[in-house]
Amino acid sequence: MQRIAMLGGGFIGRFYADSLHGQRSRDKVVAIYARREETAKKFADDYGCSFLSTNMEEVIAHPDVNMVCIALPNNLHAAAVELCAKHKKNVVCTKPLGRTADEALRMMQLVEEAGIFGGYLEDLCYTPKFLKAMDSVRNGALGRILWAKSRETHPGPHSNWFWDKEQAGGGCMLDLGCHCVEIARNFIGKDVKPVEVMCWAATQVKPIEAEDHAIALVKYENGAIGQFEVSWTFRGGMDLRDEVMGTEGTIWINSFLRTGFEMFTTGKGADYVAEKAESNTGWLFPVGDEVNDLGYNHMFTDMFVSAEEGRPPAETFYDGYIVNAILDAAYKSASTKQWEPVQLPVWRGREGLTQETTLTEYDADHYLIKQEMTHDGRNKLILKEKATGKIIERDLA
């Protein structure tokens, strides 16, 4: 059983607690740290915590606590990890791990040197749809993964600190791009090195210093491409979509606005619909079990089973650091308008991969380009002659 200290009693701290105390869970949030007494008090009342404090160290060091869950603004993650290392408390940290790769790397090293458990709470890599998609990718149903695209756009975050570049570390690219980067990395293969990034980012709408839109391409050593699209000004709710393309198949996942649940209401009895839904009248797209569909349940199960079995979870501090490194390169590219290398002072995956051959043998003299049945009943082959390089057509009987 995990006896958890929640650091942060805000939006995600409460989502996490809903997941941790959901169904017949064995795990318990026993202590809460919040900046304000009233936030800590309300959280403790709502979730039955026996200890609350506005002193972070006191909560981490509390003898009842064996797992710390960081749900604080981005600029406080590193300091919280430092305290967990000091008090030798296992820790799981929300996304993004750091504001930069330097910060994330330091956090990873602190955890490893202290010999404590470190889990990266990347919930969107634990949604039921994502887990099923990953099974299909792993068993080869899509062949070699060529392209993985992830999109997260919504009308913007709910607290002031997100909009302040210093506290948040960036704009929508860091906030939402971190999910997208890790989703694509999983599909392409976490042991495949991300090599360079090309990015466009702009502040199109909000009066802020950071970007409120970004699109980027992440090139991997084996030739695969990751792509992300993020926005803090998208209207119409939270759009979470992934597309994966391989040599043998395709997956499209729509995680939020189209979950298979559509509803119309005139507004009578209007209530909460789903995270960042902009309306509760007219045609709506509710989510059946938000805490589960956003991955929190599967995520905490993996984290805590891994901690109890003494093995790393599927998403580690190392993964959080790689994500930060990719995003650092994206920020650099957005300003230089060039492909920028991903700087990875620590890399634990494969090295020296090259793009696999794209040639499919048809016979001794030809490569196959394509076979297609056309509407006039022909069964056509398009072939490339090995000797001449000429591309020819042939009808099969």
Residue nearest to ligand NAD (CB): 10
13 binds ligand NAD (CB under 6 A): yes
Q: How far is the CB of 157 from ligand NAD (least distance, A)?
A: 7
Please give the Cα distance from 297 to 365 (Å, whole number). 55
- Residue 325 sits in the site that holds ligand NAD (CB under 6 A): no
Under rule CB under 6 A, residue 255 binds ligand NAD: no
One character per residue 163-192, x = contact with ligand NAD (rule: CB under 6 A): ------------x-----------------
Whole-number minimum distance, CB 52 to ligand NAD, in Å?
Answer: 11
Stretch of residues binding ligand NAD (CB under 6 A), selected from 34-42, 136-144, 239-247, 263-271: 34-42
Nearer to ligand NAD, 6 or 383 (CB): 6
Our finding on whether 35 is near ligand NAD (CB under 6 A) is yes
Note whether 237 binds ligand NAD by CB under 6 A.
no
Among 27, 46, 112, 161, binds ligand NAD (CB under 6 A): 161
The mark string for 90-129 relative to ligand NAD (x by CB under 6 A, - otherwise) is ----xx-------------------------x-x------
| Candidate ranges 9-17, 58-66, 82-90, 367-375; the one touching ligand NAD (CB under 6 A) | 9-17
CB of 55 to ligand NAD, least distance (A): 11
The Cα 126–Cα 134 span in angstroms is 10
Letter for the amino acid at 48?
G
Binding mask 61-80 for ligand NAD (x = CB under 6 A): ----------xxxx-x----
CA distances from 152 to 186, 211, 254 (A): 16, 14, 11
**Is the Cβ of residue 60 or residue 142 nearer to ligand NAD in the bound state?**
60
Q: Which residue has the tokens 């070699």?
A: 144
Site for ligand NAD in 347-376 (CB under 6 A): none
Rounded distance, CA 77 to CA 56, Å? 12
For ligand NAD, the closer of residues 35 and 206 by Cβ is: 35
Rounded CA Rg of the chain: 24
* Least spacing, CB of residue 220 vs ligand NAD, in Å: 24
CB atoms within 10 A of CB 385: 12
Q: Which of 8, 118, 189, 313 binds ligand NAD (CB under 6 A)?
A: 8
Q: Is 9 in the site for ligand NAD (CB under 6 A)?
A: yes
Instruction: Name the minimum Å distance from CB 10 to ligand NAD.
Output: 2
Residues that bind ligand NAD (CB under 6 A): 8-13, 34-35, 39, 71-74, 76, 94-95, 121, 123, 159, 161, 175
